[in-house]
Every structure is written in C-alpha cells, then in structure tokens.
C-alpha cells in the first residue's frame, strides 16, 4: 500500500512531527510492504523522520499577478464564481503527487478547527476524482467549527478517524456514517532520553509549556502564568523546566518561555530547555518530569503517555476530548477564559499535586487502552480496501 500524508506544515511544530513520526511507525509495523510519503509545507524540517520513504515539497505556490494563471483564476472567480482553478494552482505541489498513492491521509489533526479550508477541500475533491481513497487521520473538530460546506467536504472521505469521543459523537450526530473512533497516534511515539541539564532534580522537576497562541486568545494569561510560577517557587521545592514545543516564526514558544526564564533566573530553580530538539527528544525530557503544565496538546500527550500528572492550559475540543477519554471527565483542563485568573491556576495546580497518586493510577489504567486505540486506526485503514 502506498500512502501519501498531506496537510502537514512542517516539524517546527513538534505536535505535527509527532503525528507524522508515530503514524509512519504504526503503518509500517502493521501493513506489510507499505510505503509512506509526506507532502510537507516545510520539507527541510522533516528530514529527521527517517522511516518516511519520501518527503515531497507540498508548500503552497503563489499566483503571479497578470500571469496566465492569474488571468485564468480571475476569469473563473469573477465570471463563474469558481475558485477551483486558482486553488489547484496554489496547491499544485501536493496535487501532482496524488497519482503516486493508493490512499491519501489528511493528517492535520485540528486543521478543521480553524474556519473554512477551501484549499484542503480542493485537494480532497481532486483525490476522489482520481479514484483514490481519502482518509481524515486522527482529527478533532468542535461543533462550533462545523459549517454546511465543511460537512459536505467531510462526506467525501472514505474514512474519518476521530481521536477522541467528543469529536466522534459530534460527527455521528451530524449524520456522518464514515467515522470511527481511535486515539491520537502520538500516544505510541517512542522517546529519546538525552542527558539531563544542569539544575534538573530527578523526581522533583515540573515541566511548563506556554504558547503565543494562548496568549493571543487571552492576553492576561501571561501574567497569571507568571504568578503561577512564582507560587511554585515560593511554596514548593520544585525545579521548573520551561519546555517549548512549537518554534515556528510568529508562533514560537521558546521566545515566550525565554522571557519567563530571565524573569526567574536568579531563583536558580528555573531551566529553559533548548529550542532545537525534535519531538522524541522533548518527550524524553517530559517523561522524566514529576508533573507537567502545558498549552500544546502534543506536549501534554507526551506527558500523559508517560504517566505524568498533567494540567492543560485551555485549548480546544481536542484537549477536552482526550482528557475525557482518560479520566471520564475534563480533569485539570482549564478553559481559555480561566487562564487569566491566577487563583484558578494555583487551585488547579494544588489539586494536581494533592491528587498525584490517584491521577497516576488512572493514567496507568487508561493510557494502555488509548495506545491500543491508536493501533485501531491502522486496522480501519486496512478495512477500506476490503
């Protein structure tokens, strides 16, 4: 089976990297003689994912003003209200590789959480027109993200794999019959344990990840997180390891965490992990933390999958759904509006510390089941060819 992964914008987002790494491993372990290709928006960032057979340049192309392509796009849009030609030109680097695959996996995970996606809709339509199988791989979608146009696009898929039950139940309620429940593939991703940095105390280090994305959604959250760090330093003996997980331009955790590091540098109890590690190396550090506080979903999955009690700094349906599947409730998941309230952050932190043993026991029971659910995705993938 030849598999083309697309809707991936590069591995500077270690969550996207984790999906590619773990999915490739799952497929190669379970499907004999499979070939896995990746169309990437930033192919130079994915070279370290060695199990991939080929990495294609899947970056978008611009349409030069007054070129023939521009003129044809203009005529189609203005006269015929048809954007298909223009979108095909923009995404031609991905579209040109469709014929090389038996099945195409849209792997963006939460791509459908961010408004309409006409570019992906166009690629999906062309995949089906070429008679290829189309799979939405490990997705999360909130009910508030749905539209009629999006629903029509989702009906094109031969298989939709929802990575948590909130999304699964919502899509079923919308009348989609092509939906199966699995778990995020990154629960199965391996880890690489690098030497511990100076200042790290084994069994006494707590990780903290924060993101510009969260700060944009709630500007006052930054102050509240700083207050939480102060509380940890003032009331515990924990070392705080600031942990970046996305280092894209204009969306760089490291730049934000560096501010925190210099603010608390004199305490001698705050560590800043480097910004040049890959997903399995960050997972190797997170796995050795006692607790983890994180805004990036795949940083929290790295913690959960290593039985580290975790507090999630409000995000979206994916965080709520994953927590619900682990704990039977949205355990220690803060909504975006709560993140500016220092008292709530401190209260949830204290709850996590107090219930450490109970949380770990639940993780030891739940995580192996989720890992099995991750493997179900490959089983479902095989079944669409029967």
All structural domains of the chain: 2-181 (3.40.50.2000), 205-370 (3.40.50.2000)
* Residues in contact with 132: Cβ distance below 8 Å, sequence separation at least 6, in sequence order: 98, 101, 102, 103, 104
Q: Give the number of other Cβ atoms within 10 Å of residue 361's Cβ.
A: 12
Smallest CA-to-CA distance from 373 within 114, 151, 163 is with 163
Give the separation between CA 324 and CA 309, rounded to whole angstroms: 14
pLDDT at site 315: 66
- Coil, helix or strand at residue 181: strand
Position 318 scores a pLDDT of 86
Task: Give the ranges where the chain is alpha helix by DSSP (H).
Answer: 14-30, 68-80, 84-90, 92-95, 118-129, 148-154, 165-173, 212-217, 221-235, 253-264, 279-286, 297-304, 317-327, 342-354, 356-383
Buried b (16+ CB within 10 A) or exposed e, 22-49: bbbbbbbeebeebbbbbbbbbbebbeeb
Do 312 and 333 touch, CB atoms closer than 8 A?
yes
Q: Tens digit of pLDDT for each residue in 150-166?
A: 999 999 999 999 999 99
Whether this prediction's pTM lies above 0.85 is answered by: yes
* pLDDT values of the chain reduced to their tens digit, one per residue, 386 residues: 999 999 999 999 999 999 999 999 999 999 999 999 999 999 999 999 999 999 999 999 999 998 999 999 989 998 888 899 999 999 999 999 999 999 999 997 788 888 889 999 999 999 999 999 999 999 999 999 999 999 999 999 999 999 999 999 999 999 999 999 999 999 999 999 999 999 999 999 999 999 999 999 999 999 999 999 999 999 999 999 999 999 999 999 999 999 999 999 999 999 999 999 999 999 999 999 999 999 999 999 999 999 999 999 976 788 999 999 999 999 999 999 999 999 999 999 999 999 999 999 999 999 999 999 999 999 999 999 87
């Amino acid at each position: 089976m030849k598999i083309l992964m697309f809707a991936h914008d590069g591995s500077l987002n270690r969550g996207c990297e984790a999906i590619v790494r773990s999915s490739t491993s799952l497929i190669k372990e379970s499907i004999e003689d499979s070939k896995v290709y990746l169309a990437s928006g930033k192919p130079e960032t994915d070279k370290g994912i060695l199990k991939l057979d080929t990495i294609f340049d899947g970056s978008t192309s611009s349409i030069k003003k007054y070129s023939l392509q521009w003129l044809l796009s203009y005529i189609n849009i203005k006269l015929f209200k048809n954007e298909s030609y223009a979108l095909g030109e923009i995404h031609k680097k991905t579209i040109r590789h469709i014929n090389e695959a038996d099945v195409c996996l849209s792997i963006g995970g939460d791509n459908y959480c961010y408004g309409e996606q006409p570019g992906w809709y166009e690629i999906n339509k062309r995949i089906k027109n070429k008679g290829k199988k189309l799979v939405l791989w490990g997705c999360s979608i909130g009910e508030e993200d749905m539209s009629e146009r999006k629903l029509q696009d989702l009906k094109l898929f031969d298989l939709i794999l929802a990575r948590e039950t909130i999304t699964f139940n919502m899509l079923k309620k919308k009348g989609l019959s092509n939906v199966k429940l699995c778990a995020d593939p990154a629960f199965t991703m391996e880890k690489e344990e690098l030497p511990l940095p100076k200042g790290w105390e084994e069994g006494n280090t707590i990780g903290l990840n924060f993101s510009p994305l969260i700060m944009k959604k709630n500007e006052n959250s930054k102050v509240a997180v700083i207050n939480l760090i102060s509380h940890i330093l003032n009331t515990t003996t924990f070392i705080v390891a600031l942990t970046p997980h996305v280092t894209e331009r204009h969306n760089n955790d490291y730049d934000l965490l560096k501010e925190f590091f210099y603010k608390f540098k004199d305490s001698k109890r705050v560590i800043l992990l480097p910004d040049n590690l890959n997903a399995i190396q960050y997972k190797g550090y997170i796995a050795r933390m006692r607790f983890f506080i994180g805004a990036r979903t795949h940083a929290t999955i790295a913690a959960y999958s290593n039985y580290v009690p975790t507090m999630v700094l409000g995000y979206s349906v994916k965080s709520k759904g994953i927590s619900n599947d682990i704990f039977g409730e949205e355990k220690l998941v803060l909504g975006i509006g709560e993140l500016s309230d220092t008292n709530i952050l401190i209260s949830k932190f204290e709850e996590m510390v107090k219930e450490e043993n109970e949380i770990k026991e639940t993780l030891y029971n739940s995580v192996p089941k989720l890992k099995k659910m991750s493997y179900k995705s490959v089983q479902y993938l095989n079944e669409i060819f029967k």
